[in-house]
Amino acid sequence: MAAVDAETNHETGKLEFSLDVPFPSPREALIALRSLSPDREPRKGGISKELSVSDSTLSVRWSADEARILRVSVNSFLDHLSLVVETMEMFDSSASQ
């Protein structure tokens, strides 16, 4: 099950959102990281996104000036994540055995 955390950073005034997505293995978490990392935000300012992997968990951290920008970025990421997971499941050789 994914872990989610949302808050406002009172020092910077930015909205922060984090998502931890567990995968069955470190290899799959790394595949997801590599598949999702090239996607840049369409706007240059107002939002930042950092991805990392620890063991078999993909962690994503957002920081944004506005809730609307944060919402659009998170929704887009979740759509891409869903596609990556579905693709990995389709090519999983152990599932067909």
Distance of CA 89 to the CA centre of its chain: 18
Other CB atoms closer than 10 Å to residue 35's CB: what's the count?
A: 16
Report pLDDT for 97.
45
What pLDDT, on the 0 to 100 scale, is given for residue 93? 64
Nearest to 88 by CA among 26, 31, 34, 39: 31
Residue 67, pLDDT score = 93
What is the CATH classification number for the domain harbouring 23? 3.30.310.50
Interval 62-90: pLDDT, tens: 999 999 999 999 999 999 999 999 999 99
Domain count, the chain: 1
Q: Which residues constitute the domain of residue 19? A: 3-96
What is the per-residue burial (b if ≥16 Cβ within 10 Å, else e) of 5-21?
eeeeeeeeebbbbebeb
Provide the pLDDT confidence category of residue 11 given band limits of 50, 70 and 90.
confident
In contact, 84 and 91? CB cutoff 8 Å: no
13-68 confidence digits (pLDDT tens): 789 999 999 999 999 999 999 999 865 656 567 889 999 999 999 999 999 999 99
